[in-house]
Amino acid sequence: MEKKKLGQLIESLHAELNAADSIDDESRSGLESLTRDIEKLARSDQPTAESRESAAAQLEDAALKFETDHPKLSMVLGELMDALGKLGI
């Protein structure tokens, strides 16, 4: 069930990225890369501790960065952190 929720959150993240016109190209590229990393983690049976910690730190940083200007995007990033935690990722 949680993997299904994770997939829905990734779709929400894509939608928020597409809707956010004011995100600079570098930030957008970083978020797209992070999304790909999360998708890989979700598909992996045994992600490494390093990849889990890296993704969690990047999600937290991104959520804080976009909290003021893009609250919906920040909320989705926070929900992704929670979902990954529930999956043990």
pTM: 0.82
Q: Say what the pLDDT of residue 3 is.
A: 74
Domain range list for the chain: 2-86
Residue 18's CB is within 10 A of a number of other CB atoms, namely: 9
The CA-based dihedral angle spanning residues 15, 19, 23, 26, taken in that order and rounded to the nearest 10 degrees: 40
pLDDT in tens, 23-79: 889 998 999 998 888 888 878 777 777 887 888 889 899 999 999 989 999 999 999
Q: How far apart are CA 45 and CA 60, in angstroms?
A: 23
Asked if residue 26 lies in contact with residue 47, where contact means CB atoms within 8 angstroms, the answer is: no
Q: Say what the pLDDT of residue 61 is.
A: 92
Task: With a cut of 70, say whether residue 1 has pLDDT above it.
Answer: no
Q: How far apart are CA 73 and CA 88, in angstroms?
A: 23
